[in-house]
Amino acid sequence: MREQLHNLKNEALALIQEAKDKKELETLRIAFLGRKGKVNQLLKRLVQLEEEEKVQFGQLINEVKRAIQQTIKSKSSTIHAKGRAGTHHPSSIKDFFDPTLPGAKPSQGHLHLVTQAIEEIHRIFEKIGFVRVRYPEVDWDWYVFESLNMPKGHPARDEWETIFINQKPHPKMGKVVLTTHTSNGQVREMERVGQPPIKMINIAKCYHRQQDITHTIMFHQFEGLLIDKEISIPHLKGVFDHFAQEFYGPERKTRLRPFNFCFTEPSFEVDINCPLCLGKGCRTCKGGWHELGGAGMVHPNVLKAGGINPKEYTGFAFGWGVERTYMMKSSLKIEDLRLFYSNDLRFLKQF
């Protein structure tokens, strides 16, 4: 039996060393170590032996078993490694490596198009003296609504419109909300600067409870605020035309339409002329103009809330959506605003 065991071991190891692939190896494993394999057959014969021999042979069989197992394992990893190398360098001609070839360039990413838009908007306003600031995107009701002259029952303060944070209201500042607009920066900027002139451009994230092809729950706005002595509507119009020409091109201009905001008086909606007909009216724009966003002369109550004397100073403010403003560049036709935030590289790589 000792000799039998010895032969079995030699036979197994030799066959395993010669195995060419995983399949062959597996067949050998079953033949030697399987339930009905050669090693088990020898184990079954142990019962016929004397007690002392049983222990001796039992140990020997286990040693043989372990040796076979180990050889299979190391052979299996050499087959695996060879297989992998083989797919990359199957033959000598393909092994040829030309060190003079230029290397493969690592692909380079770029800033998200909203970030690009924000940088461009910032540069345009910076040139005419506006200072970029950023105010909280989670803020007190006081800065988002109350200090902006918005009455308690205003629809924007409704739970259907605004996302409130589940936190105990502050005795003076009220509830905590995800900012619905960047206008929360107005009174904060008046508090920061104190004495006008104030020339701020606040670019930040805003939130509302709406999502469809023209709205995303999270979006960006840029808010301009200019307060000084004798500021009037022509100043506001001049700044908008400057922006329109810098951002959209020399032939573009803006127009003002009367509107209503609680924090400005008078208030306007600002339109930009259509890139195709330049305002005459065509099939794509209907009336010749596209809406950009809101604006107006800062309401005296808002100046007062920011500690500024409305008899001495006046100012204007405007708040427009970054994504919307960007989408209106003449060369771009983005049909669904949600694409901005879908993380789809096929879309993002184009900008």
**Rounded distance between C-alpha atoms, residue 20 and residue 75, angstroms:** 9
**Can you tell me which of 319, 327, 328, 337 binds ligand PHE, judged by CB under 6 A?**
319
Among 295, 305, 322, 337, binds ligand PHE (CB under 6 A): 295
Judged by CB, which is closer to ligand PHE: 162, or 183? 183
Query: Residue 317, interface with ligand PHE (CB under 6 A)?
Result: yes
| Rounded (5°) CA angle 278-280-284 | 75
- At its nearest, how many Å lie between ligand PHE and the CB of residue 223? 6
CB-nearer residue toward ligand PHE: 25 or 204: 204
Q: Least Å distance between CB 127 and ligand PHE?
A: 21
Q: Which region, judged by CB under 6 A, interacts with ligand PHE, from 35-43, 128-136, 243-251, 315-323?
A: 315-323
End-to-end CA distance of the chain: 78
Among 185, 275, 294, 315, binds ligand PHE (CB under 6 A): 294
Q: Do residues 149 and 143 lie in contact, with contact meaning Cβ atoms separated by under 8 Å? A: no
Count Cα atoms within 13 angstroms, Cβ side, for 83.
9
- With tokens 């003076």, the residue in question is 172
Q: Which of residues 296, 299, 305, 322 is near ligand PHE by CB under 6 A?
A: 296
Kindly state whether residue 149 participates in binding ligand PHE, applying the rule CB under 6 A. Answer: no
3-state secondary structure of 342: coil
Task: Give Rg (Cα) of the chain.
Answer: 38
Quick note: the x/- pattern for ligand PHE over 206-245, rule CB under 6 A, is -----------------x----------------------
Both tokens assigned to 273: 């002329």
Contact 343, 325 (CB under 8 A): no
Q: Does 185 bind ligand PHE (CB under 6 A)?
A: no
Least Å from the CB of residue 206 to ligand PHE:
7
Question: 3-class DSSP state for residue 48?
Answer: helix
Q: Pattern of binders to ligand PHE over 244-263, x per CB under 6 A?
A: -----------------x--
Residue 162 near residue 177 (C-beta atoms within 8 A): yes
The binding track of 84-123 with respect to ligand PHE, each residue x by CB under 6 A or -, is ----------------------------------------
**Alpha carbons 265 and 284: distance in angstroms, whole number:** 32
Q: Would you call the peptide bond into 169 cis, given omega within 30 degrees of 0 as the criterion?
A: no
Q: Does 264 bind ligand PHE (CB under 6 A)?
A: yes
Residue number with the shortest CB distance to ligand PHE? 319
Q: What 3-state DSSP class applies to 319?
A: strand
- Count of residues in contact with ligand PHE, rule CB under 6 A: 12
Closest CA to 348 of 324, 334, 248, 106: 334
Q: Which two tokens stand for residue 201?
A: 């451009």
Which amino acid is located at 194 in the chain? G
> Which parts of this chain interact with ligand PHE (CB under 6 A)?
181, 183, 223, 261, 264, 293-296, 317-319
